[in-house]
């Protein structure tokens, strides 16, 4: 239970999700991610490290650059399903509200 919670925690941070989304089309090195996200370099590095430790992303040094890429694109399916559930629960809540008013 604990391990699963930790896994979910990986996706529970907006900037981290942004970084991950940036890597969706394909591998990028750190500065490329920095440019695309507008986040600070230190912060991007931190998030990428976390994603690596979580096994979501793979680190591949190439010369003086370091590329990162998503290991299993199934994570995006997970995100999609989560988004769907989230939207459904929102609708449900609005309906509940409407039933009261």
Residues that bind a second copy (CB under 8 A): 1-9, 11-14, 16-18, 21, 54-56, 71-72, 74-75, 77-79, 81-83, 85-86, 88-90, 92-93
Considering the complex, state which of residue 16 and residue 20 has its C-beta at the smaller distance from DNA: 16
For residues 47 and 62, what is the distance between their CA atoms, to the nearest angstrom? 20
| For DNA, the closer CB: 25 or 63 | 63
Instruction: Collect all residues with Cβ–Cβ distance below 8 Å to 67 and sequence separation of at least 6.
Output: 27, 28, 29, 59, 60, 61
8 A C-beta contact, residue 51 and residue 16 = yes
- Residue tagged 């391990």 (tokens): 3
Terminal-to-terminal C-alpha distance of the chain: 39
* Partner that binds at residue 24, options DNA, a second copy, none, CB closer than 5 to 8 Å by kind: none
Binding site for DNA (CB under 7 A): 9, 12-16, 29-31, 34, 39-43, 45-50, 59, 61, 63-67
99 touches which of DNA, a second copy, none (CB within 5 to 8 A by kind)? Answer: none
């Amino acid at each position: 239970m604990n391990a699963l919670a930790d896994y979910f925690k990986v996706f529970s941070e907006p900037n981290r999700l942004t970084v991950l989304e940036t890597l969706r089309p394909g591998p990028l090195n750190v500065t490329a991610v920095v440019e695309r996200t507008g986040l600070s370099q230190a912060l991007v590095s931190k998030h990428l490290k976390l994603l690596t430790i979580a096994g979501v992303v793979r680190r591949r040094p190439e010369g003086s650059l370091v590329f990162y890429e998503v290991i299993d694109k199934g994570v995006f399916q997970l995100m999609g399903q989560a988004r769907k559930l989230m939207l459904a629960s929102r609708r449900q809540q609005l309906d509940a509200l409407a039933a009261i008013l």
